[in-house]
Amino acid sequence: MLDPEQQILHSTPAQSGTEKNEGKSANHIQMALNENPFGPSPQVLEAIGNAAVKSNYYPDNLQLELREILAHKTGVRPEEVLITAGSAAFLEIAAHTLLFPGANAVTSARSYIMYRIVTEAAGANLIKAPIFQNTFDLDAIHTLLNPETRVVFIANPNNPTGTIIEPCALERFLDRLPEHVSVVIDEAYYDFADYFARVRGREYSRSLDYVRQGRNVLVLRSFSKVHSLAGLRIGYGIASDRMMRRFAQRRMRFSVSNVAAAAALAALADTEHVQKTLENNTTGAEWLKKEVEDSGVAATTTWGNFLYLETGDSADSLANRIEKYGIIVRPLTDWGAPTALRVTIGTPAQNEQFATALSKARKTHC
């Protein structure tokens, strides 16, 4: 499969390091894009089939049913929820709504590549604060804010490092934020982090409180990760009615298909599949971290469905060698981490195959 992040960065095939993956992925294990290794559940597939029969009709543009369920689940009002074609589409809407030529957005180095893409597409500049111990440095971000700053992008958990920001630190940051700056809190890995927090006895996120308090905060969530729907393109944002009215105007009508909406509704109802995914991920993350560390590779403690590995080796070359053993992982050279790899937590069998491949690949050098 073609890496979408890479595809945007390298639009000519000659420049791309991963286009060779296209068509090959059928016999490769894909552990590069943080997808759900179990696929959609049978109930979701059934809902997709039922919705597909009605594909001749336009979808409900307002997605009322899904918004009401999400609003109920998250404790906000339906007007404060907007469904988009993946959270990437919401990032684009937010950038086009809040940014303009001459304005800037601030984020951390080594965070989600899409922040730069959407900021530049809106004609604005992305300013990156240095990352501190693989975590967002909110003080460093604060010192970079200027009168032209309109947005701060925060990935919590961060992709690719897997770290979170403690609620108290985030609140101190929000409390001293100037009025003209909105914060996008990207919680694509919300369910994984929330589950880890319960297992670890820690607190993860109070993001919805900020929305209810009427702060300039947009919370983004996705159906691509724990709910297994990356290919159907559906995600959502939660923000105050006041902010949401502006975003809603920018959303393309009918851009969320009836099939995607039906799949999302079924995926939300299938708590068993979510639970299976979360348990597998938590066990797998712990197992894989120990396994790679035993072989001399450092791994951060993840709050998502992936591990960030410091290999001490050229990540591009190592990823190529790992691919020879049938596994595709993500080298992070173009994220400013030339010796780091990101690997998605898979099924137990996939994790074992990756650990073996990594260890073999580290012993070969060509």
Nearer Cβ to ligand PLP (108/258): 108
The CB-of-330 to ligand PLP minimum distance in angstroms stands at 11
221 Cβ neighbours under 8 A, 6+ residues apart: 87, 187, 188, 190, 235, 236, 237, 238
Q: Smallest distance from the beta carbon of 306 to ligand PLP, in angstroms? A: 8
Cβ-based nearer residue to ligand PLP, 30 or 222: 222
List Cα–Cα distances, 124 to 4, 39, 106, 216, 252, in angstroms: 22, 37, 11, 19, 21
With b for 16 or more beta-carbon neighbours within 10 A and e for fewer, the 322-355 pattern comes to bbebebbbbbbbbbebebbbbbbbbeeebbebbb
Of the residues 87, 107, 161, 344, which one makes contact with ligand PLP according to CB under 6 A: 87
Q: For ligand PLP, which is the closer residue by CB, 215 or 225? A: 225
Give yes or no for residue 34 binding ligand PLP (CB under 6 A).
Answer: yes
- The minimum distance between CB 81 and ligand PLP, in angstroms, equals 15
Beta partners for residue 221, in sequence order = 236
Q: Which of residues 282-321 bind ligand PLP (CB under 6 A)?
A: none
Binding characters for ligand PLP, 163-202, by CB under 6 A (x = yes): -----------------------x-x--------------
- 83: β partners: 236
Q: Where do we find the tokens 């724990």? A: 226
* Of the candidate residues 92, 112, 162, 343, the single one contacting ligand PLP (CB under 6 A): 112
Torsion of CA 47, 52, 260, 233, to 10 degrees: 130
Q: Which of 32, 70, 88, 274 contacts ligand PLP by CB under 6 A?
A: 88
Pairing state of beta strands 149-155 and 182-186? Answer: parallel
Residue 132: DSSP 8-state:
B
Task: List residues near ligand PLP by CB under 6 A.
Answer: 34, 86-88, 112, 155, 159, 186, 188, 222, 224-225, 230, 235
